[in-house]
Amino acid sequence: MLFSRFLQPASILLLSAFPLIARAASLATNSAAYIAISGNTMAGVEVPSGDSRVYYQDSSNGSILEVDITNAFTVGQYVGSKVIVPSSEVRSNSPIAASVVLFEGTGYQELHVFFFSPQNVLSEYYIKNPNPEWTGGPTCTDCLTSEGFVGLAGNQMLYAMASSATTPPTLRVGFASVGAPNTISEAVNTGNGWSLASLT
């Protein structure tokens, strides 16, 4: 009787530990299937079909990569990833914002990715259907980058919105500007170039 009293807690302990051991083994097995991604900041966009893109800054080399997924992770499939912005053009630990301009159907017309350069210049890369190549960089004359809008050093505030309700579409990019450090500034493009205004 005394022996069985001591044995019961030990057997309960062994039985309760078994699910933890099994779960740990399952995680170790499943981890081999994970897509390795190591980043600090990210943004994502989705079109009505579910086709999705995630943009993140690689923590090992500082570049911005695009990850292509066919739908939500629960039902979609990983298609691939590629560098779209070289590390030399991105501030370390830069926030990232992304926007999508849609066709009336399920496809996208434009994808835009915004971030800060090492000099804190608000910068942009974009892609327009059907051209499969990204456009951007310091020499891009129709990118937001060419406006020279400067954000606060180290600040993480950044958002992007796009509306296809207007023709051409309207793009809006909000950030903390050195010109108005105590509020939000917004760069707006309605098709006639970029303009800047602060929240008043």
pLDDT average, residue stretch 22-33: 47
According to DSSP, residue 63 is labeled -
Per-residue pLDDT tens digits for 95-104: 999 999 887 6
Q: Look at residue 32 and tell me whether its pLDDT is greater than 70.
A: no
Do you find a cis peptide bond into 168, omega within 30 degrees of 0? yes
Q: What is the 3-state secondary structure (H, E, C) of 88-126?
A: HHCCCCCCCEEEEEECCCCCEEEEEEEEECCCCEEEEEE
pLDDT classification of 3: cutoffs 50, 70, 90: very low
Domains in the chain: boundaries: 1-34, 38-198
Whole-number Å distance between alpha carbons of 20 and 9: 17
**Domain 38-198: CATH superfamily, name plus number:** Fucose-specific lectin (2.120.10.70)
pLDDT classification of 106: cutoffs 50, 70, 90: low
Q: What percent of the chain has pLDDT over 90?
A: 64
Per-residue pLDDT tens digits for 153-195: 999 999 999 988 888 889 999 999 999 999 999 999 998 899 9
Q: Which of 121, 124, 125, 172 is closest to 148 using CA atoms?
A: 121
